Amino acid sequence: MLRCVAKVIHTNYHIVLLPLLTIALTSAWVIGTGYFLIFLATCGDTQTDSFLGYSYVVYKFTDHQFYVLIVGIIYFTLVLFLLMTICDFLMIVSVTEWYFNQVDDSNLHVFRGLWWTFRYNLGSLVLGSMLVTWIWIFRAVGNYVQTHMTDKKGNVAEGPSKIMRKCIKCFLDCHNRFVKFLNINAYCQIALGG
């Protein structure tokens, strides 16, 4: 197996640069969009409150500002998962092209994968990223609800609600892993079948 991996990397050395390129693009996206989201999160009217002698600022949003912030967060996560998906797809295309075209001595399998990504398969990659994004959002909302679920005295709710929370969390986690597995296999089929 290591011999096969060495052959892939030796004849297709561009594949080593894909994780570095993904880290660079993802970091640039997080920094740029993070700045935009911080700007959106601080657009509301400020109100100063105090608690135990410490003052803090609370932002009050209009409905329009709140919806724009929610759409911005969804857009941020969608493009973030799309960048990671494109990197996965480029690696899959590079390896399949190398495997089925070993006679071809060109080292342009990564660039062929990039061409296939934007020419033929971008819709499939966006759909897979969208599925993962929505699952991630459902998991984030579930975690938020779980951390803020208390009774009238401020204690964390026990009993049936605790069991229900754990079952829902387990279901969402299993669903997330299943969709990621399905996406990777779908990308492999796309790379094999065109």
Q: What is the pLDDT of residues 99-121, one digit of tens each?
A: 887 666 666 777 888 888 889 99
**Separation of alpha carbons 144 and 130, rounded Å:** 21
Q: What percent of the chain has pLDDT over 90?
A: 22
Half-sphere exposure of 166 toward its Cβ, with a 13 Å CA cutoff? Answer: 7
Band of pLDDT at residue 14, cut at 50, 70 and 90: confident
Helical axes 160-193 vs 63-100, angle rounded to 10°: 40
Q: Does residue 137 have a pLDDT over 80?
A: yes
Range of the domain at 77: 2-193
**Domains contained in the chain, number:** 1
**Separation of alpha carbons 100 and 114, rounded Å:** 18
Helical axes 2-11 vs 63-100, angle rounded to 10°: 100
Residues found in the chain: 194
Residues facing 55 on adjacent strands: 50
Mean pLDDT check: name the lowest of 24-38, 98-112, 118-132.
Answer: 98-112
Q: Does residue 32 have a pLDDT over 70?
A: yes
Identity of the highest mean pLDDT range in 17-26, 46-55, 96-105: 17-26
